[in-house]
Each structure stands twice: as C-alpha cells, then as structure tokens.
Amino acid sequence: MAKPKVAICWLGSCGGCDEAVVDINEVLLGVANAVDLILWPVALDFKYDSIKPMKDGEIVLSIINGHVRNSEQEEVAKLLREKSQLVLAFGACACFGGTPGLANLTTKEDIFNWVYRDAPTVVNPKGNYPQTTTTVNGKELTLPEFYGRVYALNDIISVDYYLPGCPPPPHLIMAAVSAVLENKLPPRGSTLAPHRALCDSCKRNKSKPERMAIREIKRIHEVEADPETCFLAQGIICLGPATRDGCGEACMNINIPCRGCFGPVEGVVDSGAKFVSALASILDAQSDEDIARIIDQVIDPVGYLYRFSLPASVLQKKGDKK
C-alpha cells in the first residue's frame, strides 16, 4: 500500500517553524516511515517542478509555514493547494501574517528606501533597487514581485486547518500529525489547539485580586516582575486574556508576559480589539485625564497588540498586492 504523500514548505519564514518540526525528535522518524515526504525545501533537495506533474489532490497534506509577500510565495502556495487534499497553516505567520505583518504599517517604497538607501550601514552608490527583470551580459534575470503588503495564507488560498504559535510547540505538532495519520481530524476550518484563553491555564491565575485595578502601565524591562504574580495585576501588559491557549506558557515560564503568538481565542476575530476591551474594563481611572494618562503609557499599541496578527485583523484592509 502506497504511503500518503506529505509536503512541508516555507514561504516568508524565518525557519523557526521548520526547526519546530525537527524538535519533535524521534517522533519525526516514525512520521518519515509512515508517509512519503515529497517536499521539504529546508531539509531535502526536492524541486517545485517535481510537484507540478502530480495529479490534483495527490498530496494528502501540505504543511505550509510563513506569510505571503511576493509572487513566488503566492505561486507556491497555489500550487500546493491545487495538488493537496488538505492544507495546514503552520505557525503564526501562515495563520495571521506574523511579525513580518507589522510591515503593513508602512509602504513598499519606504521599505525599499530604508533597506537600499537610507539605513546607516548601506553602501549603494549606484542607487540599485531590486527589479523584477534586469539584463546582465545579455541574459535576462528575474526576481519575484515584492507585494505592497503581507498576507496571511488564507488571504491567498483556502486553508483546511490552523496550527498557530511562533513556533508551534512539539506536543501540538505531534497531536496534529497523529490526527491526520489516524483520520481523526475535527471539522475543516478548525484550529488544532485548545479553545480556551491562555489565562485559563496560567499558573499565575490564583494570584489575581478579586477586582483588578490598573493605575499605571509598566514595561517588562523597566521593572523586576514578580515571577508568581499575574502580570496584569502588576500593571504589565499581558495578552493572555485575549490569546488562545496551547503554547505551554513558554513565555510566562521565563517571566515574560504573553505576546499573543497563538492568535485569538475561539469565536474572536480580532485579538487586539478583544484585549483593548479587556484592558478598558480594568483601568482604575476617575476622569478622562486619568484614562488618557494611563493609555499614553502603552508604547506602540499596534505593534504590541498586533505583533503577530495585523494582516488578519479587522484593522487591516484587503489592499491590492501591487
């Protein structure tokens, strides 16, 4: 009996999600024996041209990590969607756009100007900028088109399942792979992580006061945070109330507040907006001036509340790729 074909592919990615797959250790050997791994660019020398002749749906599962920012990434995503029965958006970048999505706060032109002209370490006397086509020694060379914004994977293709995280933790990766191999998957469109908020499993929960009241917002590097006490009770912004559980409290375990890499909880579209609502309910302010003073202490609110999810947020308009 033929083994099910599986593809693992990165688009706009740092490589951390592929490293997370390796981190399942000896379980990976069992997976390799159970499936026919036909594409994994970071680890194996397969080419996209080997995928193109395949029949539609011939690949049982494509695990795709990374955002889409250029024409090559879009082409690869659409190719794998066409050839796959199931597509799993793997990691925060594929699920929501990830940290690169914060580049949507600026323009393509400003990015190019900084990288190729204005940054203090740039030496570019000819003022060369990337071009989609250029001729060198009589030969035409091409580069992918760099789009005007970052896209989450489901902006480009239909996605069957989501596994968030930066990167996803090994225990959820193993559970997702087992669900596929054993045909025990939930309904399509599901996120393969707990439905509750991170606060619901946090060990610091017991330290929360009966009534939370924040008079001042502090930044984690400016204070010595109590490792046993709820961050919000200490006036430190923690996105746990609006973020899906499943990370294993990796940040909290090293005394760092949640940054939101697992995205919104079940039934919530925009985790940033959800947290704004939660924060407003616990401010200890007696006047408009008090409110303004406290809110002004939130440095870079969009960057903090949408660190991993700006392209998928309700704030982000579906713009043209050009």
pLDDT in tens, 110-144: 999 999 999 999 999 999 999 999 999 999 999 99
d(CA 211, CA 195): 25
Residue 129's Cβ-side half-sphere holds a number of Cα atoms within 13 Å equal to: 12
Q: Which residues pair with 133 in a beta bridge?
A: 142
Residue 307's Cβ-side half-sphere holds a number of Cα atoms within 13 Å equal to: 15
The pLDDT of 219-223, averaged and rounded, is: 93
Whole-prediction pTM value? 0.92
The residue ranges of DSSP E strands in the chain, in sequence order, are 5-10, 36-39, 59-65, 68-70, 84-90, 133-136, 139-142, 146-151, 161-163
Which pLDDT belongs to residue 322? 52
How many other CB atoms are there within 10 angstroms of residue 91's CB atom?
A: 31
How many other CB atoms are there within 10 angstroms of residue 142's CB atom?
A: 11
Taking only the tens place, the pLDDT of each residue in 286-297 is 899 988 999 999
* Nearest CA among 159, 161, 166 for reference residue 246: 166
Please provide the DSSP assignment of 79-124 as one string: HHHHHEEEEEEESHHHHH-TGGGGGGGS-HHHHHHIIIIISTT---
Which pLDDT belongs to residue 102? 97
Taking only the tens place, the pLDDT of each residue in 2-53 is 899 999 999 999 999 999 999 888 777 787 788 899 999 998 888 899 999 9
d(CA 277, CA 268): 12
User: 3-state class of 242 per DSSP?
Assistant: helix
Does residue 316 have a pLDDT over 90? Answer: no
Eight-class DSSP state of 118: I
Lowest mean pLDDT, pick from 13-22, 154-163, 297-306, 309-318: 309-318
Alpha carbon 173 to its chain's center: 15
Handedness of CA 231, 233, 237, 243 (dihedral sign): positive
Domains with residue ranges and CATH for the chain: 5-99+148-181 (3.40.50.700), 114-147 (no CATH), 198-312 (no CATH)
Q: 227: cis peptide before it, omega within 30°? A: no
The pLDDT of 237-256, averaged and rounded, is: 95
